[in-house]
Structure 1
């Protein structure tokens, strides 16, 4: 077999194909390198953007509006006048005459205790009074007898028929008889007081309503034993009028300075989540309440419940309107917190006169410009600007929309 032999370079030169393979190879390589450079440049542009693009900010317009400042609080609905009715005497419940939601009048009998023992005590007390009256009569008779005996002995002593010692003894006996009358009369008063107490206990065996109202709760059944030795047991809970109720709301100490009597409030309950009810602040109590180191103050809100939709014990979430500012110049709350990343500013030193300062950054078409303003009330979304070089048509910066890869949005803490 014939073996392949290397091509003679001189022959290749004569045929005009010198370095043909190498030229074709490098021509293809240059095209591949050029395409790769174009792809990498495009990817770099997509990821980094143009190096000359400026930072873009989000801005919002200053707005004049009616600013309504509210304080949120939670509380519980309660009847305006609620009374717990108990028993002052012990015994067994003989009958219960009212039930839940029954309307009652003042003096109406709600329940009765078994009165057998109480009636027996009254009879015994009356007998003691009769015995004490008899004791007074007996003491008076003894006194008359002692006085007559003393007088006789005195006559005998004048005639010399007895001794002075006999007269002294008679005088002492008479004095004891007089004292016995006083003691017997005091005993009469004592047993009469005992009779009055037993009669009062017998009368209290009928549990009566102290007010006109409605029965909210009944805690007894016939046959149940009531013991009032140490603490008066609660048998019924009554409410005077459920068409007028009140809410006891807890207000945080940070908000209590803005809450006053006669302020208007609205509230919602879980039973009617899409409905708002109106209320009026009646009073703000000065006694603090501390729970887990959180200090709150209690305010009483009056509520009209003519439709009867609200029930005692419902949890109410209230909003109290503490201030209404007409034609207020306002800015978004976010504008007071925003600071561009590349701007270094010092924290504002707040004055001691109760006013509060804030810094705003204005949209100028170029570099942002900051101004210091005096701010007032806030409704949670916008804040009133009281004083400062802020025009009605100005726009304030609130955030960064776009920046170079090295830029980041900056907000003051």
Structure 2
């Protein structure tokens, strides 16, 4: 008995759900019928007037400042650190000594290379003298010359290492981090010594969309603003425009920014690039939704006021400016384009304007 009651309840619930769905579908169909009826049997559409508007191309884009030049400075020679001349936060110039390695081993290598070279020079002189008297062959003389040349190269390399005992900065910048202490041993395999950052010039990385990137080119001068320093004026120059959009269909842009004399801007801060353009002449703009299918179709329906019908029109689209499209030819001011309901239209279809 209990099972029968459960079956009856399930059937009643199912019938109720079916009745609800049918009622809901009926309401939707009635709404569609009412919408069509509003046009008196004609296809109900919405329209927009064709008119000239001033195109404002100015826009802003936000991003983060990054140093134009930064370097993780690595060791080239092995040795023990005997002196450190700079600390974190210090300004350094290219060629300035940052630290010094124990030069004892390097000096020994250089002295050995010097002695080897001098010995090779003497041997070459003896071979040259003997060759003139027929004591040695031309091959033996050439070998002596090659030995001298190799010894000279080893001496030059050891002298370079001795010079590199003074670790010098390869760039102008600021010591952001110091990784070594006096007494630490560094290897020739590349022990990290310093992180150097140059913020006299920075890069502001921003993203722009397809309609904005079309108006930009490398070398354009840009005004830069910082919320941290609202009274300061900074300028920048576009140095890179990505040839390919990223996953969000935006184009990465890099703007080189000149810092002020105090280097107020720091890497990692937020910045705003202000892209300004000359005032544009008024252009005919229509909503993007006016096109049949997509902008690439180059077709729109024009509303014929004389007999309330749709007329298919071929147009020449220009720039896509947000939700609007510039029209270069095919439309005149004062006409009206149909912006919705095109899927039900054909040439000469009767239409009714829905407000």
TM-score category (smaller protein)? 0.5 to 0.7
1:132, distance to aligned residue in structure 2 (A): 4.5
Q: CA separation in 2, counterparts of 1:325 and 1:89?
A: 61
Q: 1:194 to 1:141 in 2, by over 3 A?
A: closer
1:133-155 deviations in Å (ceiling 9; x for gaps): 66568x479959x97xxxxxxxx
1:193, distance to aligned residue in structure 2 (A): 3.3
Matched with 1:29 is none
Q: 1:82 to 1:116 in 2, by over 3 A?
A: same
Q: CA RMSD in A?
A: 5.3
Whether contact under 8 Å (1:264, 1:321) holds in the other structure is no
SS of 1:383's partner is strand
Q: 1:193 to 1:374 in 2, by over 3 A?
A: closer
Q: Does 1:327 align with 2:282?
A: yes
Q: Does 1:215 align with 2:203?
A: no
Matched with 1:228 is 188
SS of 1:68's partner is coil
1:23-49 deviations in Å (ceiling 9; x for gaps): xxxxxxxxxxxxxxxxxxxxxxxx999
1:262, distance to aligned residue in structure 2 (A): 3.5
Matched length: 306
| Matches for 1:111-122 after TM superposition, within 5 Å | 111-122=99-110
Whether contact under 8 Å (1:265, 1:278) holds in the other structure is yes
Matched with 1:280 is 237
SS of 1:175's partner is coil
The correspondence for 2:321, drawn from 361, 364, 379, is: 379
Q: Does 1:245 align with 2:202?
A: yes
Matched with 2:14 is none
1:310-330 deviations in Å (ceiling 9; x for gaps): 433557786867896421122
Matched with 1:38 is none
Whether contact under 8 Å (1:375, 1:385) holds in the other structure is yes
Matched with 1:194 is 154
Q: CA separation in 2, counterparts of 1:272 and 1:61?
A: 45
Q: Does 1:359 align with 2:300?
A: yes
Q: Does 1:302 align with 2:256?
A: yes
1:109, distance to aligned residue in structure 2 (A): 0.1
1:252, distance to aligned residue in structure 2 (A): 7.6
Q: Does 1:79 align with 2:67?
A: yes
The correspondence for 1:124, drawn from 108, 112, 124, is: 112
1:90-143 deviations in Å (ceiling 9; x for gaps): 223333322333211222101222222112222333343454466568x47995
1:340-373 deviations in Å (ceiling 9; x for gaps): xxxxxx76896xxxxx624255495994645634
Q: 1:244 to 1:129 in 2, by over 3 A?
A: closer
1:382, distance to aligned residue in structure 2 (A): 2.5
Q: 1:368 to 1:105 in 2, by over 3 A?
A: same
Whether contact under 8 Å (1:59, 1:363) holds in the other structure is no
Matched with 1:95 is 83
SS of 2:282's partner is strand
Q: Does 1:175 align with 2:135?
A: yes
Matched with 1:33 is none
Q: CA separation in 1, counterparts of 2:183 and 2:106?
A: 17
Matched with 2:266 is 311
SS of 2:162's partner is helix
1:190, distance to aligned residue in structure 2 (A): 4.0
Structure 1: which 5+ runs fail to align?
Answer: 1-46, 148-173, 338-345, 351-355, 401-408
SS of 1:236's partner is strand
Q: 1:264 to 1:90 in 2, by over 3 A?
A: same
Whether contact under 8 Å (1:329, 1:385) holds in the other structure is yes
Whether contact under 8 Å (2:106, 2:162) holds in the other structure is yes
Q: CA separation in 2, counterparts of 1:360 and 1:265?
A: 41
Whether contact under 8 Å (2:295, 2:317) holds in the other structure is no
SS of 2:83's partner is strand
SS of 1:261's partner is coil
SS of 2:135's partner is helix
Whether contact under 8 Å (2:89, 2:175) holds in the other structure is yes
Structure 2: which 5+ runs fail to align?
Answer: 1-30, 342-351
1:250, distance to aligned residue in structure 2 (A): 6.7
Whether contact under 8 Å (2:211, 2:321) holds in the other structure is no
Q: Does 1:260 align with 2:217?
A: yes
